[in-house]
């Protein structure tokens, strides 16, 4: 395809994420979005099954979100958050506190998920330091987990998967354990905490779904076990809900399905419904209280330049309006039912080892994908935007996707996987 001039010129200078620039297919030039579709430079349209890394939960260019951003742009796009506050950010903080379970009441804004996780790590470590407990500098994270791409967060991702293993020698060491899914793994984790709990500030986990690690699901019991073990051994529990937050798993937050309240929670991705970059780290009252003192060094030592950006916070408030006005969780349930019915037949296709659905997440797992480029191209040829990674083909569509649009996505997956890949 002959692309627009900016494509050829710019591709000589841009460096793409997680991309072997020599062998990967050239990226597609996107020029517009509307609802659940992406328009390419040649005028063709793709039905989007990924919602831009599961952020665009209300679809693209939603009129209510657009109006909120435009209005904010007119009066005040951004002011620094040091010494000044703005209405959208404070309103958003109050609304998040009201939505989140328990006394998750204190919101610290950042501009990306990785940084929100780093802030959670710093909060947990400094929580103990401020209380006079030295030596609790480690995190306990889980195999299969993904918490970001920055140096600190890479160190708590799954150590063996392909994405970050290369950097291992450059990273601080934390504890990486198996999720407590049965009696043996629970005992092992209990033993680890009994032995090393004094050096651990917090346990961190993605609740219910380990997303970028392979869309791996676990039961709410695992979260109850983690809450119990964290309490037993006196460490904090951090839930990374950057993927699961805002309805994706069928409840507003995944932790609600386990009936537990973490000490710290991280949010991003769908927080602004995919319109602007924003993230938040929310702490319970007892965590925040550990930072109140006469000692200036007991303050949380963090402050990104663009934190609490007024336009991003206006987007997030508009997205929360839509959650209030529309029955998004019912939309999620409907999408889940349709994906369950329409992806289930994939089980009989070659190389398929599992089909699983939770909330608005549908996963077809293969034993391996031989030619990733060919698979990606075949999906685009079907008129859909679906991005398989590792050995999975998955859907995380917008919640307001129509039955017809979703039908096109699942049909495309069935068609393409029926061919040799």
Ligand X SMILES: *Cc1c(COP(=O)(O)O)cnc(C)c1O
**What number of H helices and E strands is found in the chain?**
13, 16
The residue from 212, 235, 238, 395 that contacts ligand X (CB under 6 A) is 212
Query: Which residue lies nearer to ligand X by CB, 115 or 380?
Result: 115
Active site residue 12: no
Query: Cβ distance 298 to 80 under 8 Å?
Result: no
In terms of DSSP H, where are the helices of 250-325?
285-289, 310-325
Active site residue 240: yes
E strand or H helix at 32, and its extent?
Answer: strand 30-34
Residues in the interface with ligand X (CB under 6 A) total 15
User: Whole-angstrom Cα distance, residue 340 to residue 334?
Assistant: 10
Active-site hit among 48, 60, 127, 269: 269
User: Is residue 40 classed as helix, strand or coil in its secondary structure?
Assistant: strand
Residue nearest to ligand X (CB): 113
Site for ligand X contains 375 (CB under 6 A): no
Query: Cβ distance 304 to 110 under 8 Å?
Result: yes
User: Whole-angstrom Cα distance, residue 49 to residue 345?
Assistant: 18
Query: Which residue lies nearer to ligand X by CB, 271 or 380?
Result: 271
Active site residue 18: yes
- CA angle at residue 141 from 140 to 145, to 5 degrees? 175
Query: Which residue lies nearer to ligand X by CB, 334 or 387?
Result: 387
User: Whole-angstrom Cα distance, residue 117 to residue 267?
Assistant: 9
Active-site hit among 48, 60, 111, 146: 146
Tokens representing 260 are 């537990």
Q: Shortest distance, CB of residue 206 to ligand X, whole angstroms?
A: 5
Does 146 carry a binding-site annotation? yes
The residue from 86, 110, 112, 251 that contacts ligand X (CB under 6 A) is 112
**For the chain, how big is the Rg over CA atoms in Å?**
22
Query: Which residue lies nearer to ligand X by CB, 152 or 380?
Result: 152
Question: Residues 132-171 vs ligand X: string with x where CB under 6 A?
Answer: --------------xxx-----------------------
Tokens representing 237 are 């529990």
Q: Shortest distance, CB of residue 305 to ligand X, whole angstroms?
A: 16
Map the footprint of ligand X across residues 188-207, applying CB under 6 A.
Answer: 206
Active site residue 146: yes
The residue from 186, 225, 268, 272 that contacts ligand X (CB under 6 A) is 268
Map the footprint of ligand X across residues 218-257, applying CB under 6 A.
Answer: 240, 242-243
Beta strands in 224-349 (DSSP E): 236-240, 264-267, 279-284
Site for ligand X contains 211 (CB under 6 A): yes
- CA angle at residue 323 from 362 to 409, to 5 degrees? 25
Which residue ranges make up the annotated binding site? 53, 113-114, 146, 240, 269, 303-305, 387
Catalytic residues: 18, 146, 240, 269
Q: Which residues bind ligand X (CB under 6 A)?
A: 112-114, 117, 146-148, 206, 211-212, 240, 242-243, 268-269
């Amino acid at each position: 395809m002959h692309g627009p001039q900016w494509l050829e010129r710019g591709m000589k200078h841009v460096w793409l994420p997680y991309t072997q620039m020599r062998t990967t297919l050239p990226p597609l030039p996107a020029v517009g979005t509307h609802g659940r579709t992406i328009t390419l430079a040649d005028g063709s349209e793709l039905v989007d099954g990924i919602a831009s890394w599961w952020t665009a939960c209300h679809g693209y260019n939603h009129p209510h979100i657009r109006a909120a951003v435009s209005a904010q742009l007119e009066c005040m796009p951004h002011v620094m958050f040091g010494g000044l506050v703005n209405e959208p950010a404070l309103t958003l903080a109050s609304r998040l506190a009201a939505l989140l379970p328990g006394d998750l009441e204190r919101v610290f804004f950042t501009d990306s998920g990785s940084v929100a996780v780093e802030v959670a790590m710093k909060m947990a470590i400094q929580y103990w330091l401020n209380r006079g407990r030295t030596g609790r500098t480690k995190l306990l994270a889980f195999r299969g987990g993904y918490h970001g791409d920055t140096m600190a967060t890479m160190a708590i991702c799954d150590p063996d998967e392909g994405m970050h293993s290369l950097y291992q020698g450059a990273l601080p060491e934390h504890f990486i354990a198996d999720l407590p899914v049965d009696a043996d793994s629970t005992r092992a984790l209990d033993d680890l905490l009994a032995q090393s709990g004094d050096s651990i500030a917090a346990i961190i986990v993605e609740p219910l779904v380990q997303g970028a690690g392979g869309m791996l699901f676990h039961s709410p019991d695992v979260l109850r076990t983690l809450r119990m073990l964290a309490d037993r051994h006196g460490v904090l529990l951090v839930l990374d809900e950057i993927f699961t937050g805002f309805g994706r798993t069928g409840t507003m937050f995944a932790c609600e399905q386990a009936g537990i309240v973490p000490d710290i929670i991280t949010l991003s991705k769908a927080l602004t419904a995919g319109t602007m970059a924003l993230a938040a780290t929310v702490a319970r009252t007892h965590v925040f209280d550990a930072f109140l003192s006469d000692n200036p060094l007991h303050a949380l030592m963090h402050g990104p330049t663009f934190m609490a950006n007024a336009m991003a916070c206006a987007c997030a408030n508009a997205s929360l309006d839509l959650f209030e006005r529309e029955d998004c969780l019912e939309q999620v349930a409907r999408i889940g039912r349709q994906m369950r019915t329409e992806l289930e037949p994939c089980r009989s296709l070659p190389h398929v080892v599992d089909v699983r659905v939770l909330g608005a997440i549908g996963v077809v797992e293969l034993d391996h994908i031989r030619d990733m480029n060919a698979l990606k191209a075949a999906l685009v040829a079907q008129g859909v935007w679906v991005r398989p990674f590792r050995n999975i083909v998955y859907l995380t569509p917008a919640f307001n996707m129509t039955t017809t649009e979703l039908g096109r996505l699942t049909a495309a997956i069935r068609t393409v996987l029926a061919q040799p890949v």
